[in-house]
Amino acid sequence: MKRQHSGAPLRRRVLVSIMTVTALAVIVFALPLAVAVQRLYRTEAVTALQRDAARAAAVVPDAITGDPASLPRKLSSGPSFGVYDTAGRRVAGSGPARSALAASGARTPVRDGVEGVDLAVTVPIPSDQKVVGTVRAAVPYRTVTDRVHRAWAAMALLALLAIGLAAMLARRQAVHLAAPLERLTHVARALGDGDFTVRAERFGVREADTASQALEDTASQLGQLLDRERAFSSDVSHQLRTPLTALMVGLESALTRPDADLRPALHDALSRTEHLRTTIEDLISLVRRPGFSGPLVDLGALLADVGARWDTLLAARGRRLSRVTEPHLPRGLASPAAVRQILDVLISNALWHGDGAVTIEAHAVGTQVAIDVSDQGDGLPAGPADLLAAAAERADGHGRGLPLAYALAVAAGGSLMVRQAAPQPVFRLLLAAAGEQPAAHPAAPASKR
């Protein structure tokens, strides 16, 4: 059952984040700009009124005595003019009857401000003696505010357009970022369901491409691991089935002879049972430690133990086992269980499919230790690559344990190869040698039975 996870989808998170940042940016830039536009338009209006008032003041000295005809006429879209005395009373022109701005303007060169519904500017009337009055130029303040509002509306429209474009880009970016994750989630679920054929996709996002490649590598490694586990299980069943079959055949053969002495058969059965127990313990230890890493293995002692276990089985068929170990043989960097199982496979293969004496020879080769297992048979029925391949299974049963031995050798950090195919086949196991040198093992003499 799929678990439901809480939290907002990535698409929504990206969209909301980009939209929030865009809105905040618009507000931060738009508010100061709106204030600046308002001040700009008011300053422009005041400057125009000052210019018009100054022109009117140049022709007013006569009008202060009562001749309004000299004032500029008010145009439909232009300012209105009025002449005021120093007390702020209107003498001529248009405007309010009294103007506080005009009264203060008699004492100040230029004054501007809002009076009623007008934006007004007062300019002193020039005189040789003193200020005799002021000219007041005014326009409806609404003309300024309307212009400001139209500018604000245009700015708001542009802001909405910017936010809309940001929303489109944010949605596209959200899809661009979320689609790879959604695809990777689908691939991960397929991998969890056992589909190891997934392949990396390219999304144009470096992190997503890296994750996709990692998933493909993981799927490939898991697939290879599963294939190795299946092959290992198949080969292990062969390793267990062969000694068990031999045990059953020996006991049945003894039972078919009523007058036969059962003691040799029982001793043989016990020997085979001990061999089977050792095989099972080794395989269990290898399964529990898939890396096959372990302490340094004393190869001389291990070869002696393996030789002792196989001496009886070979002697029962009239054959002998010879061990040749050079003095000061280095220790091996491998799991003892893995090395023992590899040697069991090679010796068992020589026992059932070879002929004559079986020889185990161990010696150092550079930084490695070589262990050669040979017999005096006619040779191998197939090429080395076919025998060591995982699919090597033949009707005659030859070499069915060799793929397991090859896999164990590789997992232990070594290698298994066919040094000589025919005549007298020779298999070589190469293991990494430890730097230290153990006590010398005397070369084991060939055991003859």
Rg (CA), the chain: 52
Measured torsion, CA atoms of residues 301, 303, 307, 309, in degrees rounded to the nearest 10: 70
DSSP state, 280? H
- Complete edge-to-edge strand list for the sheet that includes strand 111-115: 90-93, 80-84, 134-140, 118-124, 111-115
Report the alpha-carbon distance of residue 441 to residue 447 in Å, rounded. 16
pLDDT at 232: 62
Structure tokens at 182: 């959604």
Res 443: pLDDT: 41
Closest CA to 174 of 329, 285, 10: 10
Amino acid at 271: S
What pairing do the DSSP bridges indicate for beta strands 321-325 and 80-84?
unpaired
Residue 407 confidence (pLDDT): 79
Give the per-residue pLDDT at 151: 92
42: Cβ contacts below 8 Å, ≥ 6 apart: 119, 144, 148
Output the pLDDT for position 66: 46
Q: Are 124 and 56 in contact (CB under 8 A)?
A: no
Rounded-to-integer distance, Cα 421 and Cα 31, Å: 90
* Nearest-angstrom CA–CA distance, 353 and 225: 31
Token representation of residue 369: 């230790």
Q: DSSP string of 185-211?
A: HHHHHHHHTT---------S-HHHHHH
Element (H, E) at 323: strand 321-325
| DSSP sequence for 2-19 | PPPPPS--HHHHHHHHHH
Q: How is 220-268 classified by DSSP, letter by letter?
A: HHHHHHHHHHHHHHHHHHHHHHHHHHHHHHHHHHHHT-TTS-HHHHHHH
For residue 392, what pLDDT is reported?
43
pLDDT tens track of the chain, all 449 residues?
A: 455 555 557 677 777 888 888 888 888 888 899 999 999 999 999 999 989 888 888 777 654 544 554 555 554 567 888 888 888 888 888 889 888 888 876 667 788 888 888 999 988 887 766 777 888 899 999 999 999 999 999 989 998 898 888 888 888 877 777 777 777 777 777 777 777 777 767 777 777 778 777 877 887 777 777 776 666 666 566 666 666 776 776 677 767 776 766 677 777 777 777 767 776 776 666 555 555 555 678 888 889 888 888 887 788 788 889 988 888 888 888 878 888 888 888 888 888 888 888 999 999 888 899 999 999 888 777 666 666 765 444 444 455 678 778 878 887 788 888 888 878 889 999 998 876 444 444 444 444 33
Q: What is the pLDDT of residue 335?
A: 79
pTM of the predicted model, to two decimals?
0.46
158: amino acid identity, one letter: L
Provide the pLDDT for residue 355: 86
